[in-house]
Amino acid sequence: MSLNGEAPARQRRRGAELEDALLQAAWDELTEHGYADLTLEAVAQRAGTSRAVLYRRWAGRRELAAAAARHVIVRNRGPMPTLGGPLREDLLAILTWANGTEVRTTIEIFAQVGSYLAEEGLTFGEARALMMGGRSTTMHDLFERAAERGEVDPGRLTPRIESLAFDLFRHELIMRSGPVPQSTLEEIVDDIVIPLVRARAGRSSS
């Protein structure tokens, strides 16, 4: 809404520019009014467009809220680092990249997740899957490549172990309400994750 209480004039926007405007409007509505009061009509008014434009992209407010949170996270992190091994360097690179997210925004997202879960009857894992957009996880691909290089014992890989580094990082972020020290990231990688998945001595990649 504009300062005088009127909806902004509709603008001709297309493609990425339009989607960015819609997601930013949805995020602004979320942070100002909470998920319980989020409506597609309010988002459309704030973005200067129609509800039909939103419904062409998202089935409802559940999907729109998840997309808005994902948009804000990705925007604040910037480009993902180039990954290509060895495993330790890749793990630290991706955790350091995630650690670059603006902390205030991250905490705001966690604050919204509680009401999101309550309203939709979702578990945290289900909400996270929605926010990830159904994409294959980067961590799974990272461990698969490490296994192909012989750094990792494939028999030790499970979905829980593959997500462990990020799970521990997320816990630290919430508990600190601020960036995680680099020394803690190194502890997660060197003292916990790598020992769990390291290939046995003498194992080849063939």
Q: Over the stretch 124-182, which tens digit does the pLDDT of each residue have?
A: 777 766 666 544 468 888 999 999 999 999 999 999 999 999 889 988 988 887 889 99
- E-only strand ranges, 13-167: none
| Residue 206 pLDDT | 41
Question: Rounded to whole angstroms, how far apart are CA atoms 72 and 56?
Answer: 21
Six-digit token string for 102: 């603006």
Amino acid identity for residue 46 in this structure: R
Whether the per-residue pLDDT at 82 is higher than 70: the answer is yes
Domain 15-70 has CATH 1.10.10.60: yes
Evaluate the omega torsion of the peptide bond into residue 8 and state whether it is cis, within 30 degrees of 0. Answer: no
The sign of the CA dihedral 159, 139, 190, 186 is negative
Instruction: Specify the higher pLDDT residue, 21 or 105.
Output: 21
- 79 versus 101: which is more confidently predicted? 79
- 135: tokens are 């994409």
Handedness of CA 170, 176, 181, 183 (dihedral sign): negative
Domain ranges of the chain: 15-70, 80-197
Tokens of residue 128, six digits: 């996270």
